Every structure is written in structure tokens, then in C-alpha cells.
Structure 1
Amino acid sequence: MRVAYLGPAGTFSEEAARAADRAAGAELMPETTIADAIEAVALGHADEAIVPIENSIEGSVAQTLDTLADRSDVTIVAEQVLPVSHFLVAARDLAEREIERVVSHPQPLGQCAHWLRAHTPAAELVAASSTADAVREVAASDAPWAAIGTRRAAELYGGTVLAEGIEDEAGNATRFVWVAPAGADVGSPAKTSIVFWGAGDDTPGWLVRCLSEFAFRGVNLTKIESRPLRGRLGHYRFFVDLDLGLDAPDAAEAVAALRGHCEGVRVLGTYPT
């Protein structure tokens, strides 16, 4: 099996893939962005992709949500939670007061924001495409820079670990989803992710009417989040997780009824937890 992930080697996405039984013996394929990893599945270049979708500190990963919402040729087939601990890495030993720039993916920069303000208050925060890219860039530089990434990335790219466990919450964890081509067999689903949007989303009570389809049938929602509906200012797409698979009649009926209120409803996946 070929598994695409946000690369290069040394990212938390790679750690999640390496920790998963479903990827045992798989060929791991690093991609430049989350969207590229998902597209690799859609184009048949990879059998599955593992992508981060939600963090316990920083919330949802916008690029994952938006990419999944825009594609009908892939589906979520599983989820996985990875405890996440961050390392501060530089090319050489540096005192915290010497660090002029901290580089990482936007999610870890947010997950370590309080620590960074306390320990490197003068440092410029710079976004990178991934944690491993940040470590690779910093490790190759003579500048007094640091990166937030994994211990494995520091080992791979010759970095020096300056501090560990710098996340703001000790229970920091990231939820990943496994993405496969649409129609893939998922076994016994226990959870469903959907996205829906207008018409009528600018009228009083529209969202309540949409959500009531689940409430009146006793379907528990474990998450609801809005993202801008691109090209239409003031309009949104709503991402919802149901605590049931679509093989459950109540869940299937609720999603079917939701279509009567909406311009669009897309099932992102119905899958085991």
C-alpha cells in the first residue's frame, strides 16, 4: 500500500503513519502540502493519505477541511489520535535570548504560543509548510534561528534540540483522518463527518432548523464548525461530526432531511472510530 502524508520525513503526519497498524509495510510518500496528499489519492498515485484534521489546542486544520469539502472523489475511512509533544530545534546550541526567529507550521506555532512569548519574546515567528521543512531549513542555516518540530526531524536533518515539551498544554493531541478513494470499504462505521451550506443561511433560524433534524432523532453531534463559503462573503459551510455511522437509520434519515434545507450536503466519510 502507498500512503501519502504531509512531508518531508520527520513531520507529525509521518509519525502518525508510522504508528498506525493500517500502514504496516506501506510505502510512505511525502507530499508538499495537505492538499497534495489528498490529491495523490484522488489521482491514484497513493492508495490512502493520512492528514491532520483537528488539534486539541488550536482546533481544526483549515486546509484539510476545505480540501475535503471541495472533493467528492475521496472519503474518510478511519481516524487516529496522536499525542503531540513539540521540540525546539536549532543548528547549534543557542541561549533562548539569542534566538531571532522561530520557524514552524502555523499549527505548532499556535500550540506553543504561550511558551514562545515567555521564552523567546523577541523572536520573529515565521510559518513553514511543515514542521520537518522548518527543522531542515533551520538546521542548514548559520543564523540564530530555531524551529518547532519532532525529535526525529532533528535527528534526520542534524539539528540540536534546545528544549522539549514546549506545547502549552500537557495533553496536546492531534486527530488525523485516513482518506481513500470514494466508495472504499470502511467496515463497520461508528462516526460520520458531513459538510452543508445554504440556501437560506442568511435567514433567522435556518441553522437551528438544520441541526434540529439531528436533535429530534436523538443523533448526537460531537463537533460543529463553520468555514467561509469561498466567493460569497458572509456565507459559510458547516462541518459536523455525528456520533453514528450512516448505517444507523436515525443518522441516515437526519442527513436525508438536512438536504431539504440546504443548497449542498456532502458526506465526507462514515467510518470506524
Structure 2
Amino acid sequence: MPDSPREQTYSYLGPAGTFTEAALAQVPEAQGKTWRAVNNVGEALGDVLEGRSVAAMIAIENSVDGGVSATQDALATMTGLRIVGEYLVSVNFVLVARPGTTLADVRVINAHPVAYAQCSRWLGANLASHGHIPATSNVAAAASLFENAQADAAIAPPGITAHYDLDVLAEGIGDNPNAVTRFVLVSRTAPVPERTGSDKTSIIAELPDNKAGRLLEMLEQFATRGVNMSLIESRPIGDELGRYRFVIDLEGHILDERVADALLGLKRFSPNVIFLGSYPRADRARPTVTPRYEDAAFTDARDWLRGLIAGEPAA
């Protein structure tokens, strides 16, 4: 029986040629399917929730600028979603312009705010007095050069000239040649996949109140069970000043005893815990686990407790 339209469609931040499209190209299941270009994270996730797409690829973290706030906020407020995979894309940029433009002609640059920030040193050294017009994506910035004359140049991904007739004024203008953006593939809520031994678990949690030491209490849920965090960032909840939620990535899978026990402790502590998913790590790195936090240690402790309750002789 043929796939439904939803099962044949994947959403991503477009237009064609973006880093998000490069991340989607790493997904085997998406090959040969329909790729739907959208304008923002909310639209991409809305496609999933409303049945237009089976999954959406969105940026969630950059090695230079940290977490992508629009993605973090969307995942915190749009229910019924689950991260099913992560993908890494090396990030660098070129400066492009309409044919015949020179670097000396550039007065205004169109660029996505994140890309613009990542090229700040080069821009300061080579175009100190330029202006900036924000764009929804780096490819959209390049495309806009043909739509209006407000900008003289745009920051775009390498290879943009394969899609548009543009001149490259400068290459490798990113401040950090090792910059990497982390993307996640998001689907509707579904059972978690089996653990691989090289997994990551993403959650969002709130503190019960603003009393002193509450953040430490939350972090102790992980520390006392040997669960390492690869990311923790705060985002305002928005209902009043001083109220924040925490976006957290844990090393391990929800089926790992240490992670499961930590989440149970967190649930007892936090008034709101959002489980975003357990999924294979893109770098395939395996966490180092102290023996007392391995699965066997938790199983042995439970067997010991059951024996005490049952009145079994001490071993």
C-alpha cells in the first residue's frame, strides 16, 4: 500500500540550499520523499502536528552561539512532539552580491541574525560601516538581492551560486572555522527507540519556586545518579519576571537505569517536566559511566531491597 502524503513529506527551513536542508540530506528515511521548505520553526513543527509532514528538521544548537531560542521555546510550548534524531553540519559562510558588484560597493548586508553574528569579526575588519537587514534564512538573504535593492550583498552558505546567479565577494568569512550547528529531527510523540549505548535524552524542566538552592536541587537529581549534562540553558517562561525553564540534554537513554531514576527524581521535584526524546547521538560517542551507576548496580540495589522486605537471609 503506498505511503500517505504525510508519510512522504519532511519539512525544513528553506529555501533550497540552507544548512537545514544539508542536515535533512543526512536522514536515510527522507531520501526519495517530498521535502517541504518552510519559513520558520513554528511552521515546520506545525506541519508535523497538523499532519502535513511526518517529521521536521530544525536547528537547535550552535557551537558558537549556543541554543537556538526559537526552537527551544517552540518545543516547550507545542505539545505532542518528539525528537527522534540529531545531525551535525559544519557551518561557514560566503559574502555574495549581484553580478558586477565589488566589495567596495557594499553598504548594506542582508543576513540571518545568527549567521551575521558569526561573521562579526570579518565584517568589522572589512566592512566596518555597513548596515544589516535581518533575513529569515541565509538562502533567503541571497535570494532577496534579486527582489529589491535595499541590500548590496548577503551572507550565504557555500554553494549558493549553484542556485542563484551571484558573484562571491569573499569566502570563509565565518569567525570560527570549526563552527558546527546541531539539528534535530522532530516527529509526533511515539514510543522511544531502543537504546544504542550512544544516546542523548532531551528534557525541559521548571523549578518549583524561586527559593535559594532550587537550581542546585534540580541538578542534584542528575549528579547523584551519575548522569552528565551536555547542555543546560535557561529560557523565560513568560508569565512573569524571574521565572525560567531549563532546557537540558543528558548523556544516556531513558531506558538506562541511571537516566530513568534521575527523571523520576526530577518529576517529584519539578512542577513541569517535558520529555523531548531519547535518540542516538550524532557523534556516536559513548558516555563514561562509573560502575556504581551502571544498570547492574541499580538492579542489584532493588534486589537487595526486595530481599530485606521479604525477610530473606542477608547474602
**Counterpart of 1:269 in structure 2: which amino acid?**
G
**Counterpart of 1:261 in structure 2: which amino acid?**
F
Q: What is the CA RMSD across the aligned residues, in angstroms? A: 1.5
Matched, 1:13 2:20: yes
Mapping 1:207-246, distance limit 5 Å = 207-246=215-254
Matched, 1:266 2:267: no
1:24 equivalent in structure 2: 31
Mapping 1:190-205, distance limit 5 Å = 190-200=199-209, 202-205=210-213
Q: Is 1:103–1:146's contact at 8 Å kept on the other side of the alignment?
A: yes
> Which stretch of the first structure deviates more once superposed, 204-213 or 190-199?
190-199
Q: Give distance in 2, aligned partners of 1:187 and 1:250.
A: 16
1:172 equivalent in structure 2: 179
Q: Give distance in 1, aligned partners of 2:156 and 2:72.
A: 23
Structure 2 residue matching 1:260: 3-state secondary structure: helix
The structure 1 segments of at least 4 consecutive aligned residues displaced by more than 4 Å after TM superposition are none
- Seen in structure 2, the aligned counterparts of structure 1 residues 245 and 118 have a Cα distance that, compared at 3 Å, is same
**Counterpart of 2:171 in structure 1: which amino acid?**
E
Mapping 1:57-206, distance limit 5 Å = 57-142=64-149, 145-183=152-190, 186-188=193-195, 190-200=199-209, 202-206=210-214
**Counterpart of 2:208 in structure 1: which amino acid?**
A
TM-score, with structure 1 as normaliser: 0.95
TM-score, with structure 2 as normaliser: 0.82
2:41 counterpart (7, 29, 34): 34
Q: Which runs of 5+ in 1 are unaligned?
A: none
1:3 equivalent in structure 2: 10
Could you tell me the percent identity over the aligned residues? 34
> Which stretch of the first structure deviates more once superposed, 44-53 or 94-103?
94-103
Q: Give distance in 1, aligned partners of 2:193 and 2:50.
A: 20
Q: Is 2:207–2:218's contact at 8 Å kept on the other side of the alignment?
A: no
2:259 equivalent in structure 1: 251
Q: Give distance in 2, aligned partners of 1:58 and 1:138.
A: 26
Q: Is 1:139–1:159's contact at 8 Å kept on the other side of the alignment?
A: no
Structure 2 residue matching 1:250: 3-state secondary structure: helix
Deviations 1:181-205 (A, max 9, x none): 11155343611000011321x1110
Q: Choose 1 or 2 for highest CA Rg.
A: 2
> Which stretch of the first structure deviates more once superposed, 242-251 or 158-167?
158-167
Q: Give distance in 2, aligned partners of 1:141 and 1:230.
A: 36
Question: 1:143 offset after TM fit, Å?
Answer: 5.4
**Counterpart of 1:153 in structure 2: which amino acid?**
I
Q: Is 1:193–1:270's contact at 8 Å kept on the other side of the alignment?
A: yes
